[in-house]
Amino acid sequence: MADHKVLAGAHVVLPTGIVENGRVIVDGERIVGATSQDTPALDLTGHWLVPGFVDMHNHGGGGASFTSGTVDEVLKGVHTHRLHGTTTVVASFVTGEMDFLTQRAGLLSELAEQGDLAGLHFEGPFISPCRKGAHDETLLRDPDPADVRKLVDAARGQAKMVTLATELPGGIDSVRLLAEHGVIAAIGHTDASYEQTVAAIDAGATVATHLYNAMPALGHRAPGPIAALLEDERITVELINDGTHLHPAALELAFHHAGPERVAFITDAMDAAGFGDGRYMLGPLEVEVKDSVARLVEGGSIAGSTLTLDRAFKRAATVDGLPVEAVVQAISANPARLLGVYDRVGSLEPGKDADIVVLDAEFNLKGVMRKGAWIVDPTA
């Protein structure tokens, strides 16, 4: 009975809606559907129970970089985000030399194979120099399908997503290649026109990398990629809800046009997430974090974020006023579906991993369970 847990009395958010005074029953690593009436229960009256968060775009945390850190440092970064409710995380790489990226892919694919990561995401080097953001322009290259295939192969089946400026030479063919290999082709760091973006979606792209950021602004005569990405039902849009990357009206616009079923909240976090202000390296570029906002030392461009998904959840539910069910969909269910792991995580249903986040009435994080074990004990 030591591995048998009953969490009772909370508002439980399920795919079918919110259950008041609900019970979530855990046996070992899984959520189950029944228990004896005399099983002791943890009383969580007044709290919320939601699925563990799923972050499909994350560069590090706790002072550790997924692009350049040692295995131990990468695991430290993963643990930092688990402490903030992210029980499933994809490791994202920034632009680097091809040989370096293939080496990193091989190294971190082992962590994905053993379940510490949910896969790998290559954000670059196949992006537009016009919209490079915090990427080293000298290392950028066109998305030659042979190079894209080289990175996918190096990840040994653990490549989940590649961000591309699909208007560049080879972009459309690379989208088709990724789709054929079951890897998400994400449109981002792009200077594409509306028409070029539509062509990439028709070729198989399914995600917009941090919508609005690192792409042309929405225009009334030249609508650019934003309009194409918002209007197409085949696209899920990533949003960084930290209060810095997006104005609340831009977030509202995305939810209005895409709906909660086509939004994925991400952190785009770098080393400083869960760690603090100071100077850091993002790939080969130096970043200064001040008042929790990360910017390149040279040029001042925003350089990822220091966001954790518990903060994104609270902001969405309070400042933005989104329904809790919609927030859960965007922060857990949608990214889990995109990553192909919704059979295991992303909702509080029997048979799934017992990945659970406990929030208080004000949506502050109070507990985190991963595979049936408390990482943050709500009774502590």
Which residues belong to the active site? Answer: 268
CA distance 59 to 283: 10
The answer on whether 192 is annotated among ligand-binding residues is no
Residue type for position 129: P
Q: Identify whether the C-beta of residue 167 lies closer than 8 Å to the C-beta of residue 108.
A: no
The answer on whether 330 is annotated among ligand-binding residues is no
Residues forming beta bridges with residue 294, ordered by sequence position:
289
The answer on whether 221 is annotated among ligand-binding residues is yes
CA distance 357 to 34: 20
Question: Can you give 142-181 as a three-state secondary structure string?
Answer: CCCHHHHHHHHHHCCCCEEEEEECCCCCCHHHHHHHHHHC
The answer on whether 189 is annotated among ligand-binding residues is yes
The answer on whether 199 is annotated among ligand-binding residues is no
Q: How is residue 131 annotated by DSSP?
A: G
CA distance 91 to 339: 12
Residue type for position 163: T
Angle between helices 171-180 and 145-154 in degrees, nearest 10:
30
The answer on whether 380 is annotated among ligand-binding residues is no
CA distance 302 to 373: 36
**Which three-class secondary structure state does DSSP give residue 294?**
strand
The answer on whether 295 is annotated among ligand-binding residues is no
The answer on whether 214 is annotated among ligand-binding residues is yes
CA distance 160 to 173: 18
Q: How is residue 270 annotated by DSSP?
A: -
The answer on whether 303 is annotated among ligand-binding residues is yes
Q: Residue 30: in which H helix or E strand, if any? A: strand 30-32
The answer on whether 213 is annotated among ligand-binding residues is yes
Percent helix, strand, coil in the chain (nearest 5)? 30, 30, 45
- Annotated binding-site residue numbers for substrate: 134, 213-214, 221, 245, 302-304
- What are the binding residues for Zn(2+)? 123, 189, 210
Q: Mark the binding-site residues, compressed into ranges.
A: 123, 134, 189, 210, 213-214, 221, 245, 302-304
